[in-house]
Structure formats: structure tokens, C-alpha cells
Amino acid sequence: MKQEKSCGAVIFREENTQRNYLVITSTQGHATLCKGHVEGSETEHETAVREIREETALEVDFVDGFREVITYSPRPGRVKDVVFFLARVSGGTLACQPEEVAEARFLPFEEALGALTHDSDRDTLRKARAFLEGR
């Protein structure tokens, strides 16, 4: 089995009393959370920061204590771990990386949940929200 690893984050921003979550639509058409492959000897957090910056041009601060791992087989003979952190936008202006991202938008929780393509992403978003509300 070949092992793959990607890292990313459930990204949110708060405006007034509303918390909105970032949903990315890939150029392949599926709506997902921001993530990408580990390169070289990067740490999980370094990968997440780089991917977030590349795909969205945003800067983030991680919320301590949240780490969710999804494991699946993208194709026969491969197993992939995707590590998600939780991150608050701290700077930058949202801009899509045209090679990979067709659209990126911040949505209220229920809309974000409905927009995501994969159940595993929806589960991760639910866990992130519960984590934030339980703090």
C-alpha cells in the first residue's frame, strides 16, 4: 500500500455575531475544505499554512486543540490520511488559485454543511463547530 498525506483546515471568520466557514469548489467541481499534499519534510501545520496561502491567499491563526484525521483509499493500492486543523482568518484577501480552485466562499454553518460534497468533510465541519462552541 502506498501512503499519502494531506493537511488543511476548517477555516472560519467571524463578522458581527455570525461565524462563517470557508468552502472551496475545486476545478474538478467538488466542494471541499482547504487542504493539500505534504511536500518534503514539512510539518502538518506548515503544509496547512502553505496550502491555505496558495489556494486562498489567506493568513490564518490555528485554534489550539483541534486535529481531525480522515483516512480513505482514493484508488486501489493507496491509503490517504487527511489532517484537518481549525483556523481563524487573521489576514489576507480571499483570492482563488485558478489552477485548483474555481470558487471560494464563506458561508454560515448550515449552508456550508449543505454545500460540501463529501460526508467526511461534513463530519469534520460538525466537529469543528462543536469544538468552537464547547470552548
Query: 89 is in which domain, residue-wise?
Result: 2-134
- State yes or no: pLDDT of 38 exceeds 80: yes
User: Cα–Cα distance between 7 and 33 in angstroms, integer?
Assistant: 10
The CATH number linked to 53 is 3.90.79.10
Asked whether the predicted pLDDT for residue 135 surpasses 80, the reply is: no
Task: Enter the C-alpha cell of residue 111.
Answer: 449552508
Residue 123 pLDDT grade (very low, low, confident, very high; cuts 50, 70, 90): very high
Q: Structural domain tally of the chain?
A: 1
Confidence (pTM) = 0.95
Q: pLDDT band at residue 96, thresholds of 50, 70 and 90? A: very high
